[in-house]
Chains A and B, each alone.
Chain A
Amino acid sequence: MEDSLTIGGTRLASRLFVGTGKYSGNDLIPKVVAAAGASVITVAVRRIDPEAREENILNHVPPGVVLMPNTSGARNAQEAVRIARLARAAGCGNWIKIEVIDDNRYLMPDNLETLKATEILAAEGFVVLPYMCPDLYAARRLKAAGAAALMPLGAPIGTNRGLKTKELVRVMLEETDLPVVVDAGLGRPSQAAEAMELGAAAVLVNTAIASAEEPVAMATAFGLAVRAGRLAWLAGPGRRRETADASSPLTGFLR
């Protein structure tokens, strides 16, 4: 079955995106990517040191996977824009995940500042993937601003709580034709499958893989779950019924 995802003109082989920032060693990165079959990898620009002799995190990103730098640490649109430009100047390509967070307690993205940064960066030719709180109006405005995909959170970052924002993400899926990548909060493969069954184009999983006792095995599990969830979506699940069928049809009198 032909089923591919294209974002910013790039055809992606898989619907699982992974992170880089929380592993016990950078040598795990290529192993996780391979086990997950991930097509996109995100790296915080704040962690990139082009002058590092030994530990340049970029050296661990395997070939064939799309590099998506992120603006972690940005507290407003201006900072996000500057970080994005630095990433491109450092040779990280033109994809950018915009992450604007100005609350260290909940780490919720600021949709308003994210929108401003999206407008500027999309106009500069970046492939912009904004990390956002799921919201229909923000989704429409981000699309109008030139976003290439939307990345709503499933639950607050790092909480592993699952798809707590399901109803809001569902509205976004129904009302926008941009690819929706559920990012943050997915703690278990079953929750990733749930997002895919709902119709998400892809998911991004970092903490759940990095904090597992066996990150590589967990990456495999997420890879399988994303494929299973996608297949289920394509297969078109039967309508869920809350009650059994009445044995005597209520409209039987019409005969």
Chain B
Amino acid sequence: MSHHLPASFQEVLEAAPPWPETESPSRSRLERILGQDRLSTEDFRLLLSPAAEALLEPLARRARELTVRHFGRTMQLFTPLYLANHCINGCRYCGYHAGGTVERHQLSHDELRREAAAIAATGLRHILVLTGEAPKQTPLEYIGGCVAALREWFSSIAVEIYPLTTDGYRYLAGQGADSLTLYQEAYDRDCYARMHPFGPKRDFDFRLEAPERGCQAGLRAVNIGALLGLHDARREFFLTGLHAQYLQEKYPGVEIAISPPRIRPVPGGFQPPVEVTDRMLVQFVTAFRLFMPRAGITLSSRERAEIRDGLAPLCVTRMSAGSNTAVGGRTRPGQTGQFEIDDARSVPEMCESLCRAGRQPVFKDWQRS
């Protein structure tokens, strides 16, 4: 597509067009885009406009067709495993932020093994390992040790932790991690600064470049995203798409995927400043499917069962199942999670729903070689 590769994603971000709120592409222009084999970044931007919501049905049809062609009628399943909830960052939207009153815990070796065994008993072979940023309690060596231990049960291990250096990612790859999930949270610098009042996470650029360092370290899959609801969601999702495209062009051997994590208002808790409707969510991810037909789309259990069931056959390639966002949540009942899960279905229940929708749940789709 582009033959001049930008030197960094910062360059792309600085050059990104402003978001004209008043612009409204014509219906015929949007219909033309739906019929194209390849979309420019401008086409993608127009598909994310409020005007394109009127074409949601044909957009969904096209997205489903492309997804079935490239990924078949399958759905890869994984589940999150929280190692610890210690954190020195002050992210305003997170239940585990420093200074919060939640009980802190860190899995011991035995607790980790029990949790892993409980998950593996459900048949899942892909795991996503999470923890907060706490160099004293959970240094990188602790996380690496946990990853190495999990190899006994899982064929694919992804990490969703604070950003690392390239050497840090290389170390985790050596321990057995093959995938990285890292959300920028906000691509808007001002919003990012407001949401992260203190802690090392304040460093916007170090985080922004981390997915690229993961690619350079030889990880096979990298999943990015923006927390939708913190800032202008159309623009934030557009920038997520640009980031994914930048990474995929520069690192063609890495499987690039995106997530559309949507913050939901919590009674008495964090109130997201921006509303992201269900229709917008569907518009975003189906538009992304047209923009990057072969990229992965991950949908977590933050979303309601009804939304997940509806989106699954349209464009999603990977879903969490049997999720629990508490530390050791499967073997230490009664713990508070990082955020509320809206789809608490067990692995068998998820499988049943997927089969009803004509999608085969896939537990193992990676071979450590």
Contacts and interface: CB of A to CB of B under 8 A. Distances in A.
B351 to A, nearest CB: 9
B364 interface: yes
Contact of B72 (A22, A46, A75, A79): A22
Contacts of B295: 104
A46 B178 CA distance: 13
B297 to A, nearest CB: 14
B220 interface: yes
Chain B residues touching A, range: 20 to 34
Contacts of B294: 104-105, 107
A26 B348 CA distance: 16
Contact of B70 (A53, A79, A158): A158
B179 interface: no
A49 B368 CA distance: 12
B369 A82 contact: yes
A80 B68 CA distance: 26
Interface string B290-312: 00001100000000000000000
B174 to A, nearest CB: 16
B72 to A, nearest CB: 2
B74 A21 contact: yes
Contacts of A160: 69
A73 interface: yes
Contacts of B363: 49, 52, 55
Interface string A93-115: 00000000011110100000000
Interface stretch (B203-211, B223-231, B246-254, B273-281): B246-254
B199 to A, nearest CB: 34
Given A104-B256, A105-B248, A79 B360 contact: no
Interface in B94-129: 123, 125
A73 B249 CA distance: 18
Which of A54, A158, A159, A207 has the largest count of B CB atoms less than 10 A from its CB?
Answer: A158
Interface string B347-369: 00000000100111111111101
A49 B364 CA distance: 7
B367 A45 contact: yes
Main SS of the interface on chain A? loop
Given A47-B362, A210-B72, A52 B123 contact: yes
A24 B358 contact: yes
B73 interface: yes
Interface residues of A, number: 34
B367 A104 contact: no
Interface string B37-71: 00000000000000000000000000000001111
A91 interface: no
B340 interface: no
Interface string A17-45: 00001111110000000000000000011
A86 B363 CA distance: 19
A211 B364 contact: no
Contact of B73 (A24, A53, A74, A107): A24
A221 interface: no
Nearest to B66: A158
Interface of B: 68-74, 123, 125, 155, 220, 248-249, 252-256, 294-295, 355, 358-367, 369
14 contacts: A22-B72, A23-B74, A45-B367, A47-B364, A49-B363, A55-B363, A73-B367, A79-B369, A102-B252, A105-B249, A105-B294, A158-B70, A159-B69, A211-B68
